[in-house]
Structure 1
Amino acid sequence: MWTLREATSADYNGFYHLDQQCFPPGIAYSRADFRAFLSQPHSIALLAEGATGALLGFILAGQRRRGELHYGYVVTIDVAESARRQGVGRALLFAVEKHLREEGLASIRLEVAVDNLAAQQFYEREQYRPIGRIPRYYMDKIDALVLEKSLL
């Protein structure tokens, strides 16, 4: 079994290592990327850990403003290969959505690579819908789909 908790700075090195396993170079975040994001106001970092304290997955999210629009934003969800298809990603996503809903936000967005069909199917099951596309978003060659979910 596993539990969810808020991350501390002691967890961030584990985030980096898991992200390197989950995503290829050019898509995986650097340590500097993690530090920059986690230092932003309203950043959310939650993790799932196993009974032994092993990192099974994490989610980074926050809030964005574009003019009058204010919405939640998922930076990344990473789940260790050994913990996939056990509800870890869904629980992490649900916890962030709940937090953002309690903050009064009406929607949440994220980007997903057009060639990452497993992730697209996961988000579709969780009621995320495409609202746009960003050309050459990943590694300056792979398009991203912009997905959104209402939190109302």
Structure 2
Amino acid sequence: MIRQATLSDLDHLIFLEHICFNSDRLSHRQVRYMLTQANGQILVAEQNGVILGYGLLLFRKNSKIARLYSIAVNPTARRKGIGEALVKESEIFAQARGSTSLRLEIRVDNLASLGLFHQLGYKKIKELKSYYEDGMDGVRLEKQFK
């Protein structure tokens, strides 16, 4: 089941940050801000009361472009369609908010995610040299909604 995150999910979201990312992690304070004050939404994939993944959407005032700022799936739950479900629900949520497209950045060495987003119709719009904390390049992808 995918639902909107609440403040009670904070510790689970931080846990996912630590097991999914080696660098460029969101801090406890940042996630709390995203849950309580940011112009965005965190969607969580939950099964039997356990959060297996999340997607963090951000919206800017006066912009029709939504941003999928972060997406994470517990390594033990990968390759089960959770990431794809989170992306699709993020697209639905963004469209309901009036967005005409969704953008995100991905590390060039994250081949599984790049494959998923390509399969879902995302196109590369920009190469990002030394984009990540560890110096890894990234790419910006975008999907236009119909």
TM-score (norm 1): 0.88
Measured in 2, the distance between the counterparts of 1:49 and 1:100 equals 20
The answer for the alignment partner of 1:115 in structure 2 is 109
Moved over 2 A (4+): 35-42
Measured in 2, the distance between the counterparts of 1:15 and 1:81 equals 14
Q: Deviations over 1:68-102 (max 9, x none)?
A: 75301001111111211111111111111011112
Tell me the secondary structure at the aligned position of residue 45 of structure 1: strand
Deviation at 1:37, TM superposition (A): 3.1
Deviation at 1:38, TM superposition (A): 3.2
Tell me the secondary structure at the aligned position of residue 136 of structure 1: coil
Measured in 1, the distance between the counterparts of 2:137 and 2:145 equals 26
The answer for the alignment partner of 2:11 in structure 1 is 13
The answer for the alignment partner of 2:35 in structure 1 is 38
Instruction: Return the letter of the residue paired with 1:49.
Output: E
Deviation at 1:27, TM superposition (A): 2.0
Tell me the secondary structure at the aligned position of residue 98 of structure 2: coil
Instruction: Return the letter of the residue paired with 1:57.
Output: G
Measured in 2, the distance between the counterparts of 1:92 and 1:129 equals 18
Measured in 2, the distance between the counterparts of 1:126 and 1:145 equals 16
Q: 1:71 aligns with which of 52, 65, 70?
A: 65
Unmatched 5+ stretches in structure 1: none
Q: 1:61 aligns with which of 35, 57, 62?
A: 57
8 Å CA contact 2:41–2:58 kept in 1: the answer is yes
Give aligned pairs, total: 146
Unmatched 5+ stretches in structure 2: none
CA RMSD of aligned residues (A): 1.6
Mapping 1:95-114, distance limit 5 Å? 95-114=89-108
Measured in 1, the distance between the counterparts of 2:129 and 2:28 equals 25
Deviation at 1:40, TM superposition (A): 4.0
Quote the sequence identity (%).
33
Measured in 2, the distance between the counterparts of 1:122 and 1:32 equals 30
Measured in 1, the distance between the counterparts of 2:101 and 2:108 equals 22
Higher strand share: 1
